[in-house]
């Protein structure tokens, strides 16, 4: 399927292709890039299916972007356990196809990965050089995607992030807001910790990297600080003014198809690390956008 040339809006900046532009993060990246004055080709799955080389390669070779930001992903962690082929097609094979086509077009790639490439056993934040060890199919396919991107395009920035929420997609914050509006009490696990990350903050960081093609390699970028899912739920209710009690529970009490890392906290050892605002600030910013939307 060909993309309408009108989708490349002319603002006079870099030519940026964003894959997965219909998703929660992709939408935010498109908006952030356009606010910076870049010309953005927003490729949704229907228009730019990254699993089909006959679609990806012609589009990138025709448009010759200055940079590609790959936000396309199979993100159903539990679903991936029973659909390994589907997850592999998008997260690994597709990521490699995009990276290779970008390289052929002379463009670097910014590729989004995940904290799920780690097993969660470390006592302390995970750094870029720490050994990986995914616990399930989703993490395995995302790690394979990192390797595919690195092989296909030397000019790559791979961004691992965690606990994403934002407009335009299913996420924990919206789930809690819905539950808190109709229930007096919810039970949320206390034994999984991570870095809640608002897509608005992450999107700006991804555009930063798109503007800095020399910043290659792996980057850990997530909301500053850390908390448990239980603490995040409490903060959601506090900031939203919802009167809902948050009870504690354990992961063992909520068996799910895919195992979750107990510790998903990301840190960075890079001298040029991009540091996002504190996670509570990200939550406040997101809630403000929901109020004004």
d(CA 121, CA 264): 9
Q: Which of 225, 212, 213 is nearest to 162 (CA)?
A: 225
Number of Cβ atoms within 10 Å of the Cβ of 79: 15
Decide if 138 is catalytic: yes
Question: Could you give phi then psi for residue 156, rounded to 5 degrees?
Answer: -125, 145
Block residue for tokens 């606010």: 35
106: left (phi over 0), alpha (psi -120 to 50) or beta: left
Angle (CA) 73-77-80 rounded to 5° is: 80
What residue spans of 65-122 are helical by DSSP H? 77-82, 84-88, 95-104
State the catalytic residue, choosing from 74, 116, 138, 286.
138
> Counting every residue, how long is the chain?
293
d(CA 57, CA 47): 13
d(CA 229, CA 231): 5
Number of Cβ atoms within 10 Å of the Cβ of 271: 5
Q: Which residues are catalytic?
A: 138
């Amino acid at each position: 399927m060909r993309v309408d040339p009108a989708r490349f809006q002319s603002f006079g900046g870099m030519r940026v292709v964003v894959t997965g532009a219909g998703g929660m993060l992709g939408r935010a990246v498109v908006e952030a890039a356009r606010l910076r004055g870049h010309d953005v080709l927003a490729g949704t799955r229907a228009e730019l299916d990254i699993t089909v080389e006959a679609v990806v390669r012609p589009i990138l070779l025709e448009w010759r972007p200055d940079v590609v930001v790959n936000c396309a992903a199979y993100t159903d962690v539990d679903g991936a356990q029973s659909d390994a082929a589907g997850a592999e097609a998008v997260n690994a094979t597709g990521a490699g196809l995009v990276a290779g086509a970008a390289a052929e077009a002379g463009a670097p790639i910014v590729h989004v990965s995940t904290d799920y490439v780690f097993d969660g056993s470390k006592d302390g934040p995970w750094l870029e050089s720490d050994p990986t060890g995914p616990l399930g199919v989703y993490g395995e396919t995302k790690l394979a995607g990192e390797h595919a991107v690195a092989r296909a395009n030397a000019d790559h920035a791979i961004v691992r992030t965690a606990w994403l929420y934002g407009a335009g997609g299913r996420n924990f914050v919206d789930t809690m807001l819905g539950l808190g509006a109709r229930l007096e009490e919810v039970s949320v696990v206390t034994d999984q910790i991570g870095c809640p990350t608002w897509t608005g903050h992450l999107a700006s960081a991804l555009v930063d990297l798109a503007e800095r093609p020399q910043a290659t390699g792996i980057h850990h970028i997530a909301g500053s600080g850390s908390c448990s899912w239980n603490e995040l739920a409490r903060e959601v209710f506090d900031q939203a003014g919802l009167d809902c009690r948050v009870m504690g529970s354990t992961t063992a009490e909520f068996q799910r198809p895919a195992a979750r890392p107990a510790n998903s906290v990301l840190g960075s050892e890079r001298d040029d690390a991009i540091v996002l605002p504190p996670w509570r600030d990200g939550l406040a910013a997101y809630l403000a956008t929901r109020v004004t939307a």
